[in-house]
């Protein structure tokens, strides 16, 4: 782990590899079955966008677009580098996983086969998860341990089915 007092030295050593160093503000993030995972940052000025102009973007085809390695270091209002809260990655919220799963047509097809009812859209799949887990909202999967256990069973069963029938 790099300590805050070591950041300047590490940055100078990595300098030849940088395409750009700029302060950015986290604007938004999300994930979906179609778009995958994404993060959006706000740059301080239009000039900071120049290195990206004319570059291929992924758009609808995730196989295109220039690739980068990102190194994000949180800073405070005094421009000081902050140490990460933990070296452990934060687990994704179960409600977030459930939301992405409901948008996945493969999951809905599996659910139809497993539960015997059609699930033509994300809302019908969300209703299934709420019903099976005994919650009124998928957000309760993050706070209700009994519901979380039931949802993890759904995930396990779906993962096993995907492994048994890849593609």
Q: Which residue has the tokens 């799963």?
A: 101
* Regions in the chain scoring below 50 on pLDDT: none
User: DSSP string spanning the chain?
Assistant: ---GGGHHHHHHHHGGG-S-----EEEEEEEETTTEEEEEEE-SSGGGGGGGTT----TT-TT-S---------B-TTSPBPPPS-SSPPPPPHHHHHHHHHT-HHHHHHHHHHHSS---SHHHHHHHHHHHHT-SSGGGGGT-HHHHHHHHHHHHHHHHHHHHS--
pLDDT number for residue 98: 92
Task: List pLDDT tens digits, range 43-73.
Answer: 888 888 888 777 776 655 555 667 777 777 7
- Per domain, the residue ranges of the chain are 1-7+20-87, 94-164
pLDDT number for residue 47: 86
Q: How many residues does the chain have?
A: 167
Residues 6+ positions from 55 with CB-CB distance below 8 Å: 65, 66
Asked whether 63 and 69 are in contact (CB, 8 A), the reply is no
- First CA to last CA across the chain, in angstroms? 38
Q: Is the pTM of this model over 0.75?
A: no
């Amino acid at each position: 782990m790099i300590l805050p007092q070591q950041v300047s030295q590490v940055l100078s050593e990595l300098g030849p590899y940088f395409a750009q160093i700029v302060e950015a503000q986290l604007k938004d993030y999300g994930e979906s079955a179609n778009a995958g995972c994404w993060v959006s940052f706000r740059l301080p000025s239009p000039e900071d966008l120049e290195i990206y102009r004319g570059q291929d973007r992924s758009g609808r085809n995730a196989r295109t677009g220039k690739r980068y390695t990102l190194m994000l270091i949180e800073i405070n209002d005094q421009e000081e580098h902050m140490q990460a809260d933990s070296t452990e990655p934060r687990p994704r919220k179960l409600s977030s996983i459930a939301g992405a799963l409901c948008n996945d047509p493969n999951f809905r097809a599996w659910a139809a086969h497993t539960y015997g009812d059609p699930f033509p859209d994300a809302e019908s799949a969300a209703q299934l998860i709420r019903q099976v887990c005994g919650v009124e909202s998928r957000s309760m999967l993050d706070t209700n341990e009994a519901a979380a256990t039931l949802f993890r069973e759904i995930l396990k069963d779906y993962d096993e089915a995907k492994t048994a029938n890849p593609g």
